[in-house]
Chain A
């Protein structure tokens, strides 16, 4: 069981806005930045959001990240069929013997 909790799946239709949540604690999301990764089947993950809300060059502005307290969210607006993928949140954890933690992943289906 992951320290960061994500819903196993979310779905939406083209053009909709969907959000994926990532719930943590004071030792991770509550006191550190959050990253989001997108992964297609059989492919390596790709950085989508860093520093909680920053998009790397080349990532469409349809993707946005935020956090409040010990929870973070990834929002995807103007949903497109090609957004169907697995999404993972990640954060540093200040707990002893723990460094980087990932959420369990959320499968986004575009109907």
Chain B
């Protein structure tokens, strides 16, 4: 059974950093494209980053470009999101999501981890 578990969220001051992790199990992690999607509590979904199966291709949403870095370790079945220079409007629940179709279809999601940026 596919299982994605995020960790690393918490409270951080503006300008601070956090690294999120997403541990994958129950499927061939190295065969699946992976993404990070966030959701401000009570609001809608926002895609923020993509990494290809091998990790060689990455994409970012404009507002996080240059501040966030997505990566993966296929030997450990873990997806990462390094978040630097955090802003108040980065406060959200962050989900990792797998895409086996390769067309930004998010067919499996983790339970999410809350990032709270506050002074």
Residues in chain A within 8 A of chain B (CB atoms):
2, 33, 35, 37, 43-47, 50-51, 56, 88, 90, 92, 97-105
Smallest CB separation, B89 vs chain A (Å): 15
The segment out of B13-21, B76-84, B108-116 that lies at the interface is B108-116
| CB contact under 8 A between A99 and B47, given known A44-B95, A44-B111, A50-B101 | yes
User: Are B109 and A51 in touch, CB under 8 angstroms?
Assistant: no
Residues facing A in B60-119 (CB within 8 A) are 61-62, 95, 101, 103-112
B45 and chain A: residue at smallest CB distance: A102
| A44 engages B112 (CB within 8 Å) | yes
With A47-B105, A50-B107 as contacts: A103 and B47 at CB distance below 8 Å? no
Complex contact B50–A99 (CB within 8 A): yes
Q: Is B46 on the interface with A (CB-CB < 8 A)?
A: yes
B103 to chain A: which residues have CB within 8 Å? 33, 51, 92
B27 contacts the other chain (Cβ, under 8 Å)?
A: no
Q: Which residues of B contact A37 (CB under 8 A)?
A: 45, 106
The answer to whether A44 touches B45 (Cβ under 8 A) is: no
Contact of B109 among A35, A46, A99 (CB under 8 A): A46
Bound CA–CA A35/B37 (angstroms): 15
Other-chain contact of A45, B45, B61, B62 (Cβ < 8 Å): B45
Rounded to whole Å, the gap between the CB of B101 and the closest CB of chain A is 6
